[in-house]
A = this chain, B = another copy of it.
Amino acid sequence: MAGSSKRNQNDKRTRIIDAAIQVIAEKSYHLARISDIAKVASVADGTIYLYFKNKEAILLTIFEEKMEELIGIVRLELDAITGAEDRLLCFIEQHFIQVRRHPELARVLQIELRQSSHFIHDYRPESLWEYLKIASEIIKEGQEEGVFRPDIDPFIFQWSLFGALDELSVQWILSKKRERFPFQQVAQQIGSVFLSGLTTK
């Protein structure tokens, strides 16, 4: 079949990434053996090194590719909405929707990734900044529209909001009884607090 070689290559690469997400989410990054990932992906250990420089590169690739995917989805959702207030609420809601939709990926991105010393200390997470930029852009829009307080620094605000979203997601992921963090209510409450705090009186 024409092109089947290339397609199979992609399949194999995808299989490795998917297997890594699954295994790392289940056993944690440090306990996830390359051989575990290889087994789940149905490839030999060595094959992984044809596609990734080393174990950590798998983690960083997951981050980069999945974040870009997420950013695309969120941007698309936001395009359908006008008005800074509703757009901010949509952003908050989408964050939780995506976490719930892909809990294994969320665990890797929000918990395991941070056990990579390299990621924390040296890596420039461009796509994280792109994600944050979505939030700060909404703030700026709102300030231009006059619905958001002009004295709020979008840079500080974006980190506050991200911190809150992130922490609550992490607690949801880690909690055994996830009912303690009902997403619908969590999103509504965060949205309500941040929005009230942000809007002009």
Please give, as numbers and ranges, the residues of chain B lying within 8 Å of A47 by CB-CB distance: none
Chain A interface size, as a band, is 35 or more
Contact B193 A157 (CB under 8 A): yes
Contact A168 B163 (CB under 8 A): yes
Name A residues whose Cβ lies closer than 8 Å to a Cβ of B.
Answer: 28-31, 111, 114-115, 117, 120-121, 151-153, 155-157, 159-168, 171, 174, 180-181, 185-186, 189-190, 192-198
Number of copies of this kind of chain in the complex: 2
Please give, as numbers and ranges, the residues of chain B lying within 8 Å of A117 by CB-CB distance: 28-31, 115
Contact A160 B168, CB 8 Å, known A197-B192, A197-B195, A197-B196:
yes
Q: Given known contacts A156-B181, A162-B167, what 10 new A-B pairs fall within 8 Å (CB)?
A: A28-B120, A111-B120, A114-B115, A115-B115, A153-B185, A156-B185, A160-B164, A160-B168, A160-B193, A196-B197
**How far is the CB of A164 from the nearest CB of chain B, in Å?**
4
**How far is the CB of A167 from the nearest CB of chain B, in Å?**
3
Please give, as numbers and ranges, the residues of chain B lying within 8 Å of A164 by CB-CB distance: 159-161, 163-164, 167
Please give, as numbers and ranges, the residues of chain B lying within 8 Å of A189 by CB-CB distance: 152-153, 156-157, 160
18 intermolecular pairs with C-beta atoms under 8 Å apart: A111-B120, A114-B114, A114-B115, A151-B192, A152-B192, A153-B189, A156-B168, A156-B190, A160-B164, A160-B167, A160-B189, A160-B190, A160-B193, A161-B164, A193-B198, A196-B196, A196-B197, A197-B197
**How far is the CB of A136 from the nearest CB of chain B, in Å?**
13
Please give, as numbers and ranges, the residues of chain B lying within 8 Å of A151 by CB-CB distance: 192
Contact A193 B152 (CB under 8 A): yes
Identify A120's interface contact among B115, B180, B186, CB under 8 A: B115
Question: In the complex, what distance in Å separates the CA atom of A183 from the CA atom of B189?
Answer: 26
Identify A171's interface contact among B114, B159, B192, B195, CB under 8 A: B159
